[in-house]
Amino acid sequence: MTLKISESLKLPCGVVIKNRLAKSAMSENMGTSFYPGEEFYHCYKKWGEGGLGLAMTGNIMVDSRHLGEPHNVVIEKNHKNYDKMIAGLKKWASVIQETGMDIWPQINHPGKQTPKFLTPEPVAPSAVALKPPLDKMFNTPRELSEEEILDIIERFGYAAKISKECGFTGVQIHGAHGYLVSQFLSSSSNQRSDRWGGSIEARFNFVKEIYLSMRKNVGDDFPIGIKLNSADFSKGGFTHEEAIFVTKSLSELGIDLIEISGGTYEKTTMMGNDNGKPVKESTRKREAYFIEYAKDIREHIKCPLMVTGGFRTLDFMEETLERDELDLVGIARPVAIDPRWPNQLLDNQRIESKVKPLTSGFKILDTIFPLEIIWYTYQIHRMGHRKDPQPKKGVYPIIFQSAWSIGMQSLRRVRG
């Protein structure tokens, strides 16, 4: 019996992805002075050899003054280690090419979702702070000027050009999870009255210009994708109807792949929970969190669709592909604890992923502390150091280690 997940997929630009299993972006937070070092090659080699057809990198920033995490990789013209940035990216792409897996840098700008110890003066479409209790950890952003908006658009285009020149096989815009592109799309974060704000058509302009800038730089035969929210799931945020408008418009412009997720830092729906609190019973029972939303979107687009969040069994992946609800199955946490899982699935082994919800046992801590992110980043770092992940590792050693490191970084910033 031929499995649906083992079929190849041809993208509108002509590029073929060898199977239907795609790793969604997971920030590695292990860049050395904003460029990728050998930890990246080891980690992605494990994923490439593990059978994935495509892997998005963790988010790569377009401006070293605006980071999501302290050890992000950055692609920018005036990178302080420009030659090392280029050499690191080239080596990363070439090592992975040998595995047959496609690898696309995920390009991002955090906007206001940058902790205050990293960016004292964040920027955003409008000066709207994150909601309590997050406003304690993230400073209120200042509104971007027209000139700065145009500069950021150019930076996204530049990052796409460099990605192609360095040997990556596509790029993805991070338009989800409450970062800058997502902030422009949301009417609660974007309260501008110029050509970048107001109606959904105007709020869409920022990501439209980013896409066009990238396309101009990479040509028509190079894949460009985007990760978008099916909705923000918060009051006044990007709605599902708006998501349909945006995905339809990008599809008409010629985008090659749309990945659907959901949520922001204020509402962590993308991880299948609500800032530590469990989500609705119906969502928890359903294996893929956003599949119902993705079904609506699929009706309006002509490009391939990837859906990410919650896939844990081969049966469910096969069912959704069989029903033609999506083209690529997006997986993240399962491959952070077991990079070999895709090959087992492709081999028709019905092994359920061991991913389980993580909790510190304290509601307040779960609300403010990104436990899932930190615990899985630890697993990625192990792979980067040529070690196997430790799925049974407890949460407390990781919480203490991370609190210590954040404390030291804040202290360093305070002391200059």
Ligand X SMILES: Cc1cc2nc3c(=O)[nH]c(=O)nc-3n(C[C@H](O)[C@H](O)[C@H](O)COP(=O)(O)O)c2cc1C
**Sole binder of ligand X in the list 17, 50, 59, 122 (CB under 6 A):** 59
Tally Cβ neighbours within 10 Å of residue 156: 27
Q: Of 20 and 192, which CB lies nearer to ligand X in the complex structure?
A: 20
If one asks whether residue 333 binds ligand X (CB under 6 A), the answer comes out as yes
Long-range contacts of 356-364 (CB under 8 A, 24+ apart): 357/272, 357/273, 357/278, 358/395, 359/276, 359/395, 360/395, 360/396, 360/399, 363/276, 363/277
Tally Cβ neighbours within 10 Å of residue 201: 12
Compute the least distance from the CB of residue 332 to ligand X, in Å: 3
Long-range contacts of 83-91 (CB under 8 A, 24+ apart): 84/33, 84/35, 85/34, 85/35, 86/162, 86/166, 87/35, 88/35, 88/36, 88/37, 88/40, 89/35, 89/36, 89/162, 89/163, 89/166, 89/167, 89/168, 90/166, 90/167, 91/36, 91/41
If one asks whether residue 373 binds ligand X (CB under 6 A), the answer comes out as yes
**Sole binder of ligand X in the list 159, 326, 372, 398 (CB under 6 A):** 372
If one asks whether residue 176 binds ligand X (CB under 6 A), the answer comes out as yes
Stretch that binds ligand X, among 41-49, 148-156, 325-333, 402-410 (CB under 6 A): 325-333
CA–CA distances in Å: residue 381 to residues 31, 38, 40, 96: 11, 11, 9, 17
Q: Of 128 and 337, which CB lies nearer to ligand X in the complex structure?
A: 337
Exposure pattern of 160-171 as b/e (b: 16+ CB <10 Å)?
bbbbbebbbbbb
If one asks whether residue 399 binds ligand X (CB under 6 A), the answer comes out as no
Compute the least distance from the CB of residue 273 to ligand X, in Å: 10
Say how many residues touch ligand X, by CB under 6 A.
26
Q: Which two tokens stand for residue 285?
A: 């029972």
Compute the least distance from the CB of residue 312 to ligand X, in Å: 8
Compute the least distance from the CB of residue 22 to ligand X, in Å: 10
**Sole binder of ligand X in the list 19, 99, 106, 230 (CB under 6 A):** 106
What type of residue sits at position 72? N
Q: Of 17 and 67, which CB lies nearer to ligand X in the complex structure?
A: 67
If one asks whether residue 174 binds ligand X (CB under 6 A), the answer comes out as yes
Strands 257-261 and 142-143: unpaired
Compute the least distance from the CB of residue 415 to ligand X, in Å: 29
Residues 292-311 within binding reach of ligand X (CB under 6 A): 308-311
Compute the least distance from the CB of residue 375 to ligand X, in Å: 8
Distance, in Å, from the CA atom of 55 to the CA atom of 265, rounded to the nearest integer, reads 23
Q: Of 161 and 333, which CB lies nearer to ligand X in the complex structure?
A: 333
If one asks whether residue 144 binds ligand X (CB under 6 A), the answer comes out as no
If one asks whether residue 24 binds ligand X (CB under 6 A), the answer comes out as yes
If one asks whether residue 20 binds ligand X (CB under 6 A), the answer comes out as no
If one asks whether residue 227 binds ligand X (CB under 6 A), the answer comes out as yes
Task: Give me Rg for the CA atoms of the chain.
Answer: 20
Q: Which residues bind ligand X (CB under 6 A)?
A: 24-27, 58-59, 106, 174, 176-177, 227, 261, 270-271, 308-311, 331-334, 372-373, 376-377
